[in-house]
A = this chain, B = another copy of it.
Amino acid sequence: MVDFQTLDTETLRHMQQQLTLKYENFKRKNLKLNMSRGKPCPEQLDLSSGLLEGLNRSYHAEDGTDCRNYGGVEGLPEARRLFAELLGVQPDEIIVHGNSSLALMHDLIARALFFGVDGQEAPWRLQPIKFLCPSPGYDRHFAISEFFNIEMITIPLREDGPDLDLVEKLVAEDETIKGIWCIPKHSNPSGITYSDQVVTRLATMKTKASDFRIFWDNAYAWHDLTTDPVPLKNILTACKEANHPDRVYIFSSTSKITYAGAGLAMVASSVNNITRLKKQMAIQTIGPNKLNQLAHVRFFKNAQNVRLHMKKHAAIIRPKFDLVLNLLQTQLGDKKIATWSRPQGGYFISFNTMPGCAKKVVQMAADAGVELTKAGATFPYGIDPKDQNIRIAPTYPPLRELETAMELFIVCVQLVSIENILRGRERSSEECLFHPRNEAQIV
């Protein structure tokens, strides 16, 4: 193991030949592996087996509501109570809805564009508006922004959260910045969790726009891989303390707790925001799927059981993360051609190639049958300015397939990196030929 940059060209060319042989071998295997999305694996889904069947033909909620019938746009009382406890809010500060937290976000933004956020401020659609996008981030957040023509400003995501110096500066100056996308815990894809200080600063910062909103997608709130997870400071409490009680919408779901294709989603916020939202949602629908809510509450009974359930998830997926991290460490550890995250939870490993290499790596892997998340997807408009971030989603494939996929991936990373280094050297020597007197450029 050695720093690729220090190897001479001949050695690199030799390695390139060997790696190309390996790559061709992979190609001949006709792989068809998909690692593009953060999907739970079947064993994880099996943890919730019997959830629906457990209704056992008894369909009434604790307040007597027949969950098979119309009504109750805010969700069942017992569902609101359960997820309020888990999210650290009050039951009247939450709406439990259908199976898609993304839909809750999408629809909230649509309503803000039409009507503004509080009945006093102007509708967002009346002027071009902007959202801050800590990146790398979640492509579906960025897709919603782009869909609604909201200009996205990329904010560097650091180890403790978004670059708050930059965020504070921008929101203080620009009245058209109306929101920020945040995945505050085990962030997608970087895995970082916002520090207390970052949460406090987000809650307290002065914004030029009085209708600025934080879209707090706490998708991985309970999705820890370690026994001693980093706690996340309660942003709703922080916002109340900072006298900005309506600033934040918190989203979460059971997509990666029970069923990604048949779970529950929720939004939590101030009573003020929730009351308004409930009224608006009552125009859209008579109510969510309440039987699914009842089934979930019956299945879990209490918050503690949800936490225990999440430990079972961790037991299934931790070995997958370990495998990936071990392979990366063993095979790329000292080569200085890549860096990657070592997440304490969530669904992703964020991998950074040398600048300008991510797209090629993803393409090479795809050509050999392993589909990764599109390079660039983790940045606004799908454009990674340095073309180096790749999101690795290790949860879905079985360990054996994951190993194969990662072996291939690591070959691709090395091949593209070597090519990149060699091209850099060629360019340097060409520059010497064309600018023989510019000695500073001679390597």
Surface stretch bound by B, among A49-57, A227-235, A350-358, A405-413: A49-57
Q: How far is the CB of A28 from chain B (nearest CB, A)?
A: 26
Interface residues of A in 54-112 (CB under 8 A from B): 55-57, 59, 66-72, 98-100, 102-103, 106-107, 110
Is B285 in contact with A106, judged by CB distance below 8 angstroms?
yes
Is A262 in contact with B66, judged by CB distance below 8 angstroms?
no
Is B284 in contact with A262, judged by CB distance below 8 angstroms?
no
- Which residues of B are found within 8 Å of A49, using beta-carbon distances? 57
Q: Is A45 an interface residue (CB 8 A)?
A: yes
**Residue from A102, A286, A288 having most chain B Cβ neighbours under 10 A:** A286
Instruction: Given the known inter-chain contacts A40-B69, A45-B68, A70-B39, please indicate yes or no for A100 contacting B261, CB distance below 8 A.
Output: no
Is A68 in contact with B286, judged by CB distance below 8 angstroms?
no
Cα–Cα distance between A284 and B280 once the two chains are bound (Å) = 17
Q: How far is the CB of A265 from chain B (nearest CB, A)?
A: 9
- Helix, strand, loop or mixed for chain A's interface? loop
Is B52 in contact with A261, judged by CB distance below 8 angstroms?
no
- CB-nearest residue of chain B to A101: B285
Q: Is A255 an interface residue (CB 8 A)?
A: yes
Q: Is A289 an interface residue (CB 8 A)?
A: yes
- CB-nearest residue of chain B to A52: B52
- Which residues of B are found within 8 Å of A289, using beta-carbon distances? 98-99, 261-262, 289, 292
- Which residues of B are found within 8 Å of A45, using beta-carbon distances? 59, 66, 68-69
> Interface readout for A216-241 with B: 1 if CB under 8 Å, 0 if not?
00000000000000000000000000
Within the complex, which residue of B39, B67, B102, B259 is in contact with A262, where a contact is CB–CB below 8 Å? B67
Q: How far is the CB of A315 from chain B (nearest CB, A)?
A: 19
Within the complex, which residue of B53, B70, B110 is in contact with A110, where a contact is CB–CB below 8 Å? B110
Interface residues of A in 290-312 (CB under 8 A from B): 290-292, 295
Within the complex, which residue of B107, B262, B280 is in contact with A68, where a contact is CB–CB below 8 Å? B262
Cα–Cα distance between A144 and B98 once the two chains are bound (Å) = 20
**Residue from A40, A52, A114 having most chain B Cβ neighbours under 10 A:** A52
Q: How far is the CB of A381 from chain B (nearest CB, A)?
A: 14
Q: How far is the CB of A223 from chain B (nearest CB, A)?
A: 15
User: What are 18 A-B pairs at a CB distance below 8 A?
Assistant: A37-B70, A39-B69, A45-B59, A45-B68, A52-B55, A67-B262, A68-B260, A70-B260, A99-B289, A102-B284, A103-B284, A107-B284, A144-B284, A147-B283, A259-B291, A261-B287, A261-B291, A262-B292
